[in-house]
């Protein structure tokens, strides 16, 4: 898999992709992450990528030309399954979308910034718009990094125990059951006896009951 992230501030997330699972998958050759500085596609000497909005609205808007140049160059080099724009008014990102995107070969993720992006880019170049929540960030970099992380960790071989990913919260629209480790008794706080029983079927039954209970209590909307 290859993910190209277009950003105004690449240094904001460079370190993220050089750590932990994101670093390992790249070293293994399972994924490529490429950051593109949008300022490199600006036409003036000041490398400006934003301008005042028409209509007298407040704030600054990312211009068409630098974004178009960057995306068009990438599209000339290879075929992309999706050109994603991360924006608060996009579809809500969830595990199902992460699963779907993990099956793709090449993705572009465009990070918004300033007041937003010239809407013509969204009309003509973007194939999917994704939000990580009903809130506004300074830019789309953290959202893009979150999406990339959620997607890449699902690639076979990305994590040592693939069964672990299958039992994550939201994989089956339920929250994960509680987990415990040694010691079994810490300051009188004890691990549930069932988890120490070695009875696999009963443990699975307990796990499902706990998942349902936690989902009903914390995220009842998932059960709809």
Q: What is the pTM of this model?
A: 0.89
Pick the CATH number of 172-223 from 1.10.645.10, 2.30.42.10, 1.10.1270.20, 3.90.480.20: 1.10.1270.20
Instruction: Give the whole-angstrom CA distance, residue 173 versus residue 196.
Output: 27
Percent share of the chain, pLDDT over 90: 90
In the structure encoding, which two tokens stand for residue 223, read together? Answer: 């059960």
CATH 3.40.1280.10 residue ranges for the chain: 2-152
User: Using one digit for the tens of pLDDT, what is the confidence trace for 74-127?
Assistant: 999 999 999 999 999 999 999 999 999 999 999 999 999 989 999 999 999 999
pLDDT tens column, 186-209 = 999 999 999 999 999 999 999 999
Query: For residue 132, what are its two tokens?
Result: 């990580």
Q: Supply 197's token pair.
A: 């029983």
The least confident of 96-105, 136-145, 156-165, 214-223 is 156-165
For the chain, give the DSSP string: -EEEEEES-GGGTTGGGGSHHHHHHHHTTS-EEEEEEGGGG-SSTT---EEPPTTS-SS-EE-HHHHHHHHHHHHHHS--SEEEEEEEEEEEP-HHHHHHHTT-SEEEEEEPBTTEE-HHHHHHT-SEEEESSSS--SBSHHHHHHHHHHHHTTSTTSSS-HHHHHTSTTTTSSPPPP---S-SEETTEE--GGGGS--HHHHHHHHHHHHHHHHHHH-GGGG-
pLDDT value, residue 41: 97
pLDDT band at 173 (very low <50, low <70, confident <90, very high): confident
Tell me the C-alpha distance between 125 and 219, whole Å: 35
Which CATH architecture fits 2-152? 3-Layer(aba) Sandwich (3.40)
Question: 32 to each of 25, 37, 70, 193, how far by Cα in Å?
Answer: 8, 16, 18, 44
C-alpha 110, offset from chain centre? 12
For 75, phi then psi, to 5°, come to -65, -30
């Amino acid at each position: 898999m290859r993910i190209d992230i277009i950003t105004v501030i690449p240094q904001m997330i460079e370190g993220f992709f050089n750590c932990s699972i994101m670093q390992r998958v790249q070293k293994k050759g399972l994924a490529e992450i490429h950051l593109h500085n949008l300022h490199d596609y600006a036409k003036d000497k000041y490398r400006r990528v934003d301008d005042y909005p028409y209509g007298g609205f407040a704030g600054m808007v990312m211009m068409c030309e630098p974004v178009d140049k960057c995306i068009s160059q990438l599209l000339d080099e290879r075929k992309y399954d999706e050109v994603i724009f991360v924006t608060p008014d996009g579809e809500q990102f969830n595990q199902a979308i992460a699963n779907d995107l993990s099956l793709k070969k090449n993705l572009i993720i465009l990070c918004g910034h300033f007041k937003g992006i010239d809407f013509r880019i969204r009309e003509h170049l973007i194939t999917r718009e994704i939000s990580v929540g009903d809130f506004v960030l300074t830019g789309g970099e953290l959202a893009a990094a979150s999406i990339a992380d959620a997607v890449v960790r699902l690639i076979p071989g990305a994590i040592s125990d693939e069964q672990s990913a299958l039992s994550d919260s939201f994989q089956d629209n339920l929250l994960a059951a509680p987990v415990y480790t040694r010691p079994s008794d810490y300051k009188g706080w004890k691990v549930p006896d069932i988890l120490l029983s070695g009875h696999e079927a009963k443990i699975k039954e307990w796990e499902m009951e706990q998942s349902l209970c936690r989902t009903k209590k914390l995220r009842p909307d998932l059960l709809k």
